[in-house]
């Protein structure tokens, strides 16, 4: 059965590889991005440019463009990372924290609200988060903006799971691992294609029985 899959932050890294994986499975993929690149264009999926998850007006336009009667899988993947430490939190550093909160935390909420009319029983809402949003897992400090924004989106995802439960819509918070992407400066433990494969496997497993939980893409349950 062909599924309709909507993916934000689709122009590179994990988002690009998720588009490739779902396309190869025969699903209809809608790739959302601010600006498409050559690699995304070559995939042959439906690409919608000019989508900024922090701007509600661009998401209103999105609703008109997608024209899908149903979205089976919504993947909130768009994100930003600005490394910081305590002594770097000047005015610009605090502004970068706000940007990370807008994109990483409010972005998934904005997009999910925009797509809600197309979500129905059996749909899945996926938030690509990070174990850096875990309180218990923070043993090194620093990264104030990224940690705080991911902790916030974890709470948002947990609330969405409760609020969408009566409609039969499952929500999952998935940490992809430490992935080699532009965001991490090419550092990491897994490549984007491997991380995408693990995420797809985890999405297949998501159900109402485990909605609202926080997982590593390898299947491990992560602490809040």
Render pLDDT for 33-48 as a digit per residue (tens, 0 to 9): 999 999 999 999 999 9
DSSP string, 15-68: HHHHHHHHHHTT-EEEEE-SS--HHHHHHTSEEE-S--TT-HHHHHHHHHHH--
| Cβ-contact 76, 108 below 8 angstroms | yes
The pTM of this model reads: 0.95
5-to-22, 23, 189 alpha-carbon distances in Å: 8, 9, 27
Summarize pLDDT for 104-161 with one digit per residue, the tens: 999 999 999 999 999 999 999 999 999 999 999 999 999 999 999 999 999 999 999 9
Gap between the Cα atoms of 4 and 103, Å rounded: 24
């Amino acid at each position: 059965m062909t599924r309709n899959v909507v993916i934000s932050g689709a122009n590179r890294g994990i988002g690009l590889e998720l588009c490739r994986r779902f396309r190869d499975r025969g699903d209809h993929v809608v790739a959302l991005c601010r600006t498409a690149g050559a690699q995304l264009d070559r995939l042959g999926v439906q690409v919608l440019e000019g989508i900024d998850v922090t701007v509600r007006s661009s998401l209103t336009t999105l609703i008109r463009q997608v024209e899908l009667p149903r979205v089976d899988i919504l993947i909130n993947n768009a994100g930003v990372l600005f490394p910081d430490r305590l002594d770097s939190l000047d005015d610009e550093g605090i502004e970068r924290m706000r940007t990370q909160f807008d994109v990483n935390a409010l972005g998934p909420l904005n997009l999910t609200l925009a797509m809600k009319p197309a979500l129905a029983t059996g749909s899945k809402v996926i938030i690509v988060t990070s174990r850096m949003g875990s309180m218990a897992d923070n043993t090194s400090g620093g990264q104030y903006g990224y940690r705080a924004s991911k902790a916030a989106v974890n709470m948002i995802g947990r609330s969405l799971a409760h609020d969408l439960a009566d409609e039969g819509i499952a929500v999952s918070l998935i940490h992809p691992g430490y992935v080699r992407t532009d965001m991490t400066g090419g550092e990491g433990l897994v490549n984007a294609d491997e991380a995408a494969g693990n995420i797809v496997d985890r999405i297949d497993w998501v159900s109402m029985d485990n909605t609202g939980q926080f997982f590593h893409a390898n299947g491990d349950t992560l602490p809040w």
